[in-house]
Chain A
Amino acid sequence: MIRRVLRLTTGRIAFGILAAIAFLAAFGPLLAPYDPLEGTTDILANPSGAHPLGTDYLGRDVLSRLLDGSRVSVLGAVQVALLALVVGVVPGILSVYFGRAFEWVTLRLADTLIALPFLVFAVAVTALLGNGIPQAMFVVGVMVSPLFYRVARAATLSVARSQYVEAAIVAGASVGWVVRRHVWVKVLPPIAVALANTTGVGFVVVSSLTFLGIGVQPPAPTWGGVLAADLGYLSFQPWAPLVPTALIMATVWACNLLADAIRDVTGEAGRALLNTRKLDPGKVTNGSPVAP
């Protein structure tokens, strides 16, 4: 599937941006020219040769903080999305097949999570499990999982009663076979879209938790954290929030592009599009001749 995504221009752009961001996450902390935590007297400086992106309200080099924070930010968002994927998608698909009781319980759980006030839940979990990045990611992942649950369940329901699934059942297919062979492909595109969205939401939520002192602890930099700090000094450096915003936006945008590309190459329409490009026009309508 990755090869097919790469055949689309949107897919290539998305992969390019995501690769750059992955590079930042992997090597960003090593590339930082200054210690991201060390303050200087040169506060709120404008960009210069020494500080390409200026300094913040404690005189810390913004470029270093962004580079150093990229790992925590990206990993955090990815963790949130993957946790939500596992916690949401698996029960979402199984709720269609595992009988009434399982369906009822998971549906009510999803409703409860949607109804639960986010911050109260976050505070309760940190009180229970202690404060830390994994706990914060866990909270956010669980809180957004109902989205995945609902999307996966809706996509599965639309396939479960289709005739080709019945045909597979008549051929002796088990639930596992039906899910692997027929359901999964239909569930994947909407899930990819939800995943891309959630990754974006993850960035924002992780930084808002940082603001409350949950998860990433204040001196440690994150993209969201840098953005939050910049907003406080808008009158001194009105341009400053643009840099972390651009990073977050590029990531979310690339995720959305990737989601679109996945949707285009899965689904029937996408396959047909790619196939007609590959075939020469004269061969598209071959096969046995149609009787006059």
Chain B
Amino acid sequence: MSLEVSDLDVHYGRTRALRRVSLSVAPGQTLGVIGETGSGKSTLARAVVGLVRPSAGRITVDGEEVTRYRARQWRALRRRGVVQYVFQDPLRSLDPDVTVEDSIVEPLLIQGRPRREAADRARRLAARVHLDEELLSRLPGELSGGQRQRVTVARALVTDPRVVILDEPVSALDAANRVRALELLKQLRDAGTALVFISHDLGSVAGVADRIAVLYQGGIVEEGPARTVVNAPRHPYARLLVGSAPTLRSAAADRAQREELRELLQNIGGPA
């Protein structure tokens, strides 16, 4: 398994942000994680890359148990470039004073690779994510939202990672670029990279994910093959999500049905 999480708990102070979350992603597999704002999606991602310390549970990345890793061990693991994280907000995750090229190759420079090799790699990656080569010398503030997002994706791919976590990777892209981005993700998957695709929008995940996990109030309420979750969701929240997805025509529930499901959700409350 490229990534394995079992019984993961994360607390922020006394708030429990994640409750006994378990999931696993095999090489070349794509896991979609969907859930609304505040459901713990980003916390899950941050815990996996070591930005948040779990209060219980186990995390295994590329065969290494990282749950109790200290700062130095994390740094060594990260420098190997096995796991990369594409942040939700491309503008804020790029240093406004660093050129696009330097941002893309930063992981390589941190590893101590020579500049020339890094610059070479930046040009090839720019082509791969459909970014004009001349944009490489620009600052992030001089790029459009979609271009910035492609920069952050390029940065994540620069080390040939085994696991890539994408936090809302297509939300800032227009339709044409979204298709390209999803195409790129498919290529990655074929190359054996494990992807965790986080989104609030079932529609953008359904097409690329092999499996889908539905996160609700910090816990996974439904997990299974993408087709099953989309076509035959069991948990009321998953049914509500599917019913609200405007892109899945056949599955769209009518208003009465959605209200019924919301009521049901309120009655059963969050995950145990």
Chain A residues at the B interface, C-beta cutoff of 8 Å: 162-164, 166-174, 177, 181-182, 185-186, 266-268, 271-272, 275, 286-288, 290-291
A272→B132 CA distance, assembly (Å): 19
* Distance between B52 CB and nearest chain A CB, rounded to angstroms: 11
Known: A163-B92, A172-B107, A272-B142. A291 touches B79 (CB 8 A): no
The residue that B49 contacts in the complex, of A170, A267, A275, A287, with Cβ under 8 A, is A170
**20 A-B contact pairs sorted by A residue (CB < 8 Å):** A162-B92, A164-B92, A164-B93, A166-B87, A167-B93, A167-B152, A169-B78, A170-B49, A170-B50, A170-B51, A171-B106, A171-B155, A172-B80, A172-B110, A182-B95, A182-B98, A268-B96, A272-B142, A290-B174, A291-B177
What residues of A have a CB within 8 angstroms of the CB of B139 in the complex?
A: 268, 271-272, 275
The residue that B174 contacts in the complex, of A266, A286, A291, with Cβ under 8 A, is A291
Q: Which of B151-188 contact A (CB under 8 A)?
A: 152, 155, 159, 174-177
What residues of A have a CB within 8 angstroms of the CB of B135 in the complex?
A: 287
Q: Are B97 and A171 in contact (CB under 8 A)?
A: no
A166→B165 CA distance, assembly (Å): 14
> Does residue B257 face the partner (Cβ distance < 8 Å to A)?
no
Q: Are A172 and B75 in contact (CB under 8 A)?
A: yes
Interface size class of B (residues with CB under 8 A): 35 or more
Q: Are B78 and A170 in contact (CB under 8 A)?
A: yes
Q: Are B132 and A287 in contact (CB under 8 A)?
A: yes
Q: Are A291 and B92 in contact (CB under 8 A)?
A: no
In the complex, the chain A residue whose C-beta lies closest to that of B176 is A291
Q: Are B85 and A170 in contact (CB under 8 A)?
A: yes
Q: Are A167 and B87 in contact (CB under 8 A)?
A: yes
> Does residue B94 face the partner (Cβ distance < 8 Å to A)?
yes
* Distance between A135 CB and nearest chain B CB, rounded to angstroms: 39
* Distance between A289 CB and nearest chain B CB, rounded to angstroms: 9
A177→B49 CA distance, assembly (Å): 19
In the complex, the chain B residue whose C-beta lies closest to that of A288 is B132
What residues of A have a CB within 8 angstroms of the CB of B142 in the complex?
A: 272, 275
> Does residue B141 face the partner (Cβ distance < 8 Å to A)?
yes
In the complex, the chain B residue whose C-beta lies closest to that of A173 is B110
A266→B139 CA distance, assembly (Å): 12
Q: Are A288 and B130 in contact (CB under 8 A)?
A: yes
Binary contact track B57-88/A, C-beta < 8 Å → 1, others 0: 00000000000000000011111110111010
What residues of B have a CB within 8 angstroms of the CB of A166 in the complex?
A: 51, 87, 93
What residues of A have a CB within 8 angstroms of the CB of B49 in the complex?
A: 170
Q: Are A286 and B134 in contact (CB under 8 A)?
A: yes
What residues of B have a CB within 8 angstroms of the CB of A290 in the complex?
A: 144, 146, 174
Known: A168-B106, A172-B111, A271-B97. A287 touches B143 (CB 8 A): yes
In the complex, the chain A residue whose C-beta lies closest to that of B131 is A288
Known: A163-B89, A272-B141. A169 touches B51 (CB 8 A): yes
